[in-house]
């Protein structure tokens, strides 16, 4: 039985790709939720460039060569997860947060709660903000992103539909908000299984700003999720050509190499990503998985602890750490890691499965293990392989008449 848990270690590497989940398709809204980007702000940039420093006209560059980075700051809504210290500071700040009344204060509180994993509290704060200002686009998009994180696609699409109505009736929506809206919509389409729609939006965003690395990463991750590694690699190489050094793109190149059973090449890419960003948690987890596969458990544990220090909410790091701890004979540590993973993300099927396997194999708590294995079968994010492994355990642990 223990081998069944260990076989999952390598499959964790595929979970490091964002926007790669697949869900059942829900009813599609009648209206097209995409919006056209207003390129008019680029005219002001071009006009200013045409004047020159001394007011002497110079030849303006073609619009296609002017990046949206000149008129928008998309990086503002792509912040790294808080470190352990920052999480502690945010938690303390939230304990003494004054009763917020304005939409900005409520939105800020929701963002702080979301950053440290208090998703239910964040939802309450965002909902309160929308009661104060029902058409606040930033809050709508923050809440939609939260729902995507929770895999609540219907709720996310309902908010995106409202946001589209606000955008359509407003003359003062910034390019930054439009980019955030379209990127969130793309991820929602991909999550709902309408990948073509999501891919078109992401490709369009890349066309507008060649440095928009989240779009490259999400597009490549989506192709990886459906087995089109060649297309994913093409997207990532194009992104690296344009952005040069980027940890998320390098990490995904490592995922492709690992899926192609090229561990040496994968490690090179993970090392490159960590040279660019030493605390980039996904690459740390992926490198740890490679080390564990080579029975280098001390190195794997070191990387995983560093990943959790950089991002305490990194559930994949907790699951991988639990597997490594189990292999080293640290059963109590493994149980704590798996339990924390399940508490942090109840929908994480790997954490639930591994905790159940530990209870069954090492702690002989059959009833608890069976309950968790049955929950794995009901978890939307669990793939067919994981469900089959759970059924195998259930069959071994139950009388003949109750087997699958």
Quote the percentage of the chain above a pLDDT of 90.
59
Summarize the confidence of residues 265-291 as an average pLDDT.
Answer: 95
Sequence-distant (≥ 6) Cβ neighbours of residue 393 within 8 angstroms: 1, 4, 356, 357, 360, 369, 373
> Residue 326 has what pLDDT?
93
Q: Which helix (H) or strand (E) holds 232?
A: helix 229-243
Quote the percentage of the chain above a pLDDT of 70.
81
Summarize the confidence of residues 138-148 as an average pLDDT.
Answer: 94
> Residue 384 has what pLDDT?
86
- Judged against a pLDDT cut of 60, whether residue 255 lies above it is answered with yes
What are the start-end ranges of the H helices in 13-151? 40-51, 84-95, 103-115, 119-132, 137-149
Q: Is 264 exposed, middle or buried (0-12, 13-18, 19+ CB in 10 A)?
A: exposed
Per residue in 313-341, pLDDT tens? Answer: 889 999 999 999 999 999 999 999 999 99
DSSP codes joined into one string, 164-183: HHHHHT-S---HHHHHHHHH
Per residue in 13-51, pLDDT tens? Answer: 444 444 334 444 444 444 588 887 755 444 444 344 344
- Judged against a pLDDT cut of 50, whether residue 113 lies above it is answered with yes
What mean pLDDT, rounded, does the chain reach? 82
> Residue 49 has what pLDDT?
38
Q: By mean pLDDT, which of 179-183, 309-313, 322-326, 355-359 is the weakest? A: 309-313
> Residue 89 has what pLDDT?
87
Summarize the confidence of residues 392-399 as an average pLDDT.
Answer: 88
> Residue 155 has what pLDDT?
95
Prediction pTM value: 0.80
Q: By mean pLDDT, which of 133-142, 235-244, 287-296, 376-385 is the weakest? A: 376-385
- Judged against a pLDDT cut of 60, whether residue 191 lies above it is answered with yes
Sequence-distant (≥ 6) Cβ neighbours of residue 268 within 8 angstroms: 254, 257
Residue 305: pLDDT band (50, 70, 90) is very high
Distances (CA, A) of 145 to 132, 139, 187, 191, 368: 20, 10, 9, 12, 33
- Judged against a pLDDT cut of 70, whether residue 52 lies above it is answered with no
- Judged against a pLDDT cut of 50, whether residue 60 lies above it is answered with no
């Amino acid at each position: 039985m223990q081998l069944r848990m260990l076989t999952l270690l390598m499959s964790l590497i595929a979970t490091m790709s964002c926007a790669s989940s697949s869900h059942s398709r829900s009813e599609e809204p009648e209206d097209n939720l995409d919006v056209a980007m207003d390129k008019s702000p680029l005219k002001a940039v071009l006009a200013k460039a045409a004047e020159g420093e001394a007011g002497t006209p110079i030849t303006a560059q073609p619009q296609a060569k002017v990046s949206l980075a000149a008129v928008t700051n998309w990086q503002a809504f792509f912040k790294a997860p808080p470190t352990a210290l920052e999480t502690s500071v945010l938690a303390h700040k939230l304990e003494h947060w004054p009763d917020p009344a304005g939409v900005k204060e409520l939105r800020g509180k929701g963002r702080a709660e979301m950053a440290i994993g208090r998703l239910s509290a964040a939802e309450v704060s965002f909902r309160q903000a929308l009661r104060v200002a029902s058409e606040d686009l930033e809050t709508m998009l923050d809440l939609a992103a939260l729902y995507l994180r929770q895999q609540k696609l219907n709720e996310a699409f309902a908010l995106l539909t409202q946001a589209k109505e606000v955008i359509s009736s407003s003359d003062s929506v910034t390019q930054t908000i439009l980019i955030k809206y379209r990127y969130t919509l793309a991820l929602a389409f991909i999550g709902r299984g309408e990948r073509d729609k999501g891919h078109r939006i992401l490709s369009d965003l890349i066309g507008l700003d060649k440095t928009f690395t989240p779009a490259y990463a999400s597009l490549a991750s989506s192709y990886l999720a459906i087995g089109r590694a060649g297309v994913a690699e093409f997207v990532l190489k194009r992104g690296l050509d344009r952005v040069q050094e980027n940890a998320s793109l390098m990490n995904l190149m490592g995922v492709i190499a690992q899926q192609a059973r090229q561990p040496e090449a994968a490690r090179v890419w993970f090392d490159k990503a960590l040279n660019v960003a030493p605390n980039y948690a996904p690459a740390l987890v992926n490198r740890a998985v490679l080390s564990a596969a080579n029975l280098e458990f001390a190195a794997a544990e070191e990387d995983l602890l560093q990943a959790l220090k950089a991002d305490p909410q990194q559930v994949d790091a907790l699951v991988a750490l639990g597997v490594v701890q189990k292999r080293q004979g640290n059963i109590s540590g493994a149980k704590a890691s798996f339990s924390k993973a399940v508490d942090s993300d109840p929908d994480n099927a790997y954490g639930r499965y591994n905790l159940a396997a530990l209870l069954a194999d090492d702690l002989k708590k059959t009833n608890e293990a069976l309950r968790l294995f049955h929950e794995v079968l009901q978890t939307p994010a669990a793939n067919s392989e994981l469900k089959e492994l759970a059924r195998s355990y259930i069959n071994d642990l139950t009388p003949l008449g109750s087997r699958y």
